[in-house]
Amino acid sequence: MYRAQTKVGCEVGFALALAEAAVSWQRELRGQGVVGCSIFAKGSGVFLYFEMTGEGCEWEWPITCKPLLEAWPGSFGGEHRYAVPMLDIFHDGEPEMKEAGQSGERVGSLARLKPSKYSSYIFYHYAMQEEKPSCFNPTYLIGAHEELIFSYQERPAPSFEHGVTRRKWPAPITPENWHDVMQPHFIPWSESEHGPILWETMDTILSF
């Protein structure tokens, strides 16, 4: 999972440039071991989900896309960074549980965490990941960078059996009233008649 950002006013231009370069870029990524890719956007924010055959790859944006992206502060080896990795903080299931070529609608969503609740959010999600693996959708995962958290999932959830508990503590940690405990961790995007909107679904700008 990666995060990038377009320059002000370049959101549409970036999406068009990416679409025009999609065929050759997809071929390049596949040559580097990327077997699946979904890119989502909200405003100037761009979020990437890759499925890879190995631990990672040294990928690059298409050359026509780079001028439309903000260079991230700091550099590595003197090179500008146009995307930064997100911290992997939650997997409901394991990648090998998915069958090749079997994927439904790919959904990317975005939320904001209160800085004071960051560690608590990760703590509870790690506990649930270990105590109740595959409890709702084995494709679901969450990445974090600064105050933003990005989730990816495929709908409908593929058929699966609940996984075996990976770890046991002296007493269960995952709360039964999960949503009530989670809500105070978020900075809502807005309010609706049904309550605060914590997650917003993003637009998909590329998927293969």
Pairing of strands 105-112, 200-201: antiparallel
> What mean pLDDT is predicted for residues 72-89?
84
CA distance 112 to 27: 34
> What mean pLDDT is predicted for residues 86-110?
77
State whether residue 85 is helix, strand or coil.
strand
How many helices (H) and strands (E) would you count in the chain?
A: 3, 14
Q: Which residue has the tokens 């903000």?
A: 70
CA distance 140 to 97: 12
Q: What are the boundaries of each domain within the chain?
A: 2-207
> What mean pLDDT is predicted for residues 69-96?
84
18 or 193, greater pLDDT: 18
> What mean pLDDT is predicted for residues 175-184?
96
* Per-residue pLDDT band at 77 (split at 50, 70, 90): low
> What mean pLDDT is predicted for residues 177-198?
94
CA distance 76 to 153: 31
Q: Where are the alpha helices (DSSP H) in the chain?
A: 11-31, 118-131, 178-182
Say if CB 114 and CB 185 are below 8 A apart: yes
The pLDDT assigned to 78 comes to 66
The pLDDT assigned to 134 comes to 85
Beta-bridged to residue 186, according to DSSP, are: 113
> What mean pLDDT is predicted for residues 184-207?
95
Q: Is the pLDDT of residue 120 over 80?
A: yes
| Mean pLDDT, the chain, integer | 90
State whether residue 126 is helix, strand or coil.
helix
Query: What do you get for the CA distance between the two ends of the chain, in Å?
Result: 15
